[in-house]
């Protein structure tokens, strides 16, 4: 059937990137996936801050398995806050998992890598799961029973998470966390030969290629499309020139109903049974990712390009940004959202 345009939404948005040096502990992350969506929507909170959620469109699916696109605004703007691809203070994250490192990633512990040598005395890394219309949930990982006893206040000493490896949600949820482990060659295959997770000595470290989150209704959320950040831990010393390079973000690439077959690494298409939603990403029409180092800061970006269901698809069009306070060489590393077009198949 010929494709026809149903709706076209054009955005004229001027975005500004603020300084990012102090946002985290000496590393940066793409603002499209780093935010907290647990704010109350459409109201002023007890601090007087406006929180707004603006529905833009719905991508219809089969049997009501739809995807709603909403833009969210949170009023307080931090001094070093970066603008997203839709504007400062605004965010649209279709779904992501981000990792906020609490310490170094080599030798001392490997909480943010797929190793099993985590030391219980080190504070665990924080993972933030954002699901469509479900807000943000925090989770962490440990392999030591002492960690459960120390951090899971009120839980039985015999408590064991059902997840593999043993992740747990800080506020209990009846959801299951599964991981997709990766190696140096896996990451080089998707990023290029010079990019892979490593410690401060440039030694390759195993990492997660993705996550699978299964909710209590059997719906599975697949997270892949990882991107990198750098981290310099305090114990490296104030004059350290080394850094850890690790995966800081994974993006939602598919939502599968219980009727869909088990996920085997292939995204759903028109031949996939059941109800599904697929999300594709790219930096532009020539490359899926863009990696650049500007003033000793990495920029590793990709943007939502298409949301597909068995009956419709929405295309997200981006354009170049030339913000007044971009650093030299940064102009070509960021995009802004310029249009969303919804089509019926």
Range with top average pLDDT, 88-92, 159-163, 242-246, 306-310: 306-310
Residue 122 has pLDDT above 70, yes or no: no
pLDDT in tens, 157-214: 444 444 555 677 888 888 999 989 888 899 999 998 789 988 777 888 878 899 999 9
**pLDDT of 301 strictly over 80:** yes
Tokens describing residue 338: 């310029």
Band the pLDDT of 263: cuts 50, 70, 90.
Answer: very high
Assess whether pLDDT exceeds 90 at residue 59: yes
Lowest-confidence region among 164-178, 211-225, 228-242, 297-311: 228-242
Between CA 336 and CA 303 the distance in angstroms is 9
Which of these, 48, 56, 53, lies nearest to 35 by C-alpha position? 53
Residues 6+ apart with CB under 8 A from 126: 99, 100, 102, 138, 140
Cα 211 to chain centroid, rounded:
11
Contact 18, 325 (CB under 8 A): yes
Its domain, for residue 46, covers 4-344
- Kindly state the average pLDDT of the residues 29-36: 62
For residues 249-259, average pLDDT:
96
Residues of the chain above pLDDT 70, percent: 70
Task: Label residue 160 exposed, middle or buried (CB < 10 Å: 0-12, 13-18, 19+).
Answer: exposed
Task: Answer yes or no: is pLDDT of 28 > 90.
Answer: no
Pair 172, 153: CB distance under 8 Å: no
SS3 312: strand
Res 22 pLDDT > 90? no
Q: Average pLDDT in the 123-130 region? A: 81
More confident of the two residues 264 and 234? 264
The closest of 207, 308, 299 to 253, measured between CA atoms, is: 308
Per the structure block, which two tokens stand in for 186?
A: 């896996």
Question: How many domains would you assign to the chain?
Answer: 1
Of 328 and 211, the structure prediction assigns the larger pLDDT to 211
State how far the Cα of 210 lies from the Cα of 223, in Å rounded to an integer. Answer: 5
Q: What tokens does 59 get? A: 């991508």
For residue 133, is it left (φ>0), alpha (ψ between -120 and 50) or beta? left
Whether 150 has a pLDDT exceeding 60, the answer reads no
> For residue 170, what are the CA distances in angstroms to 70, 95, 161, 217, 341?
26, 19, 11, 20, 38
């Amino acid at each position: 059937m010929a494709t026809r345009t149903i709706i076209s939404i054009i955005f004229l948005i001027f975005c500004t990137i603020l300084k990012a040096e102090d946002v985290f502990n000496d590393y940066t992350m793409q603002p499209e996936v780093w935010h907290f969506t647990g704010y109350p929507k459409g109201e002023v909170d007890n601090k007087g801050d406006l929180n707004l959620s603006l529905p833009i469109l719905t991508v219809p699916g089969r049997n009501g398995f739809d995807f709603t696109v909403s833009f969210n605004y949170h009023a307080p703007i931090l001094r070093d806050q970066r603008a997203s691809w839709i504007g400062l203070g605004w965010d649209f994250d279709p779904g992501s998992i981000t990792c906020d490192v609490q310490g170094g990633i080599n030798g001392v512990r490997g909480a943010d890598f797929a190793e099993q040598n985590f030391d219980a005395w080190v504070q665990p890394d924080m993972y933030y799961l954002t699901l469509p219309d479900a807000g943000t949930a925090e989770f962490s990982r440990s392999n030591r029973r002492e960690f459960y006893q120390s951090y899971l206040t009120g839980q039985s000493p015999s408590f064991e998470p059902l997840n593999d490896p043993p992740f747990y949600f800080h506020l209990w949820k009846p959801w299951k966390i599964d991981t997709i482990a990766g190696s140096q060659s896996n990451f080089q295959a998707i990023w290029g030969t010079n990019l892979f997770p490593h410690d401060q000595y440039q030694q390759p470290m195993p990492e997660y290629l993705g996550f699978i989150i299964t909710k209590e209704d059997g719906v599975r959320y697949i997270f892949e499309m990882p991107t990198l950040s750098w981290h310099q831990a305090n114990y490296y010393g104030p004059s350290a020139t080394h850094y850890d390079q690790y995966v800081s973000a994974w993006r939602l690439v598919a939502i599968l109903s219980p009727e869909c077959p088990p996920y085997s690494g292939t995204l759903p298409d028109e031949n996939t049974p059941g109800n599904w939603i697929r999300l594709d990403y790219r930096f532009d029409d020539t490359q899926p990712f863009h990696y650049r180092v500007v003033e000793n800061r990495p920029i590793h970006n990709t943007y939502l390009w298409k949301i597909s269901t068995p009956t419709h698809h929405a295309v997200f069009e981006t354009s170049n940004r030339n913000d007044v306070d971009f650093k030299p060489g940064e102009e070509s590393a960021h995009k802004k959202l310029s249009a969303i077009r919804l089509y019926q198949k």
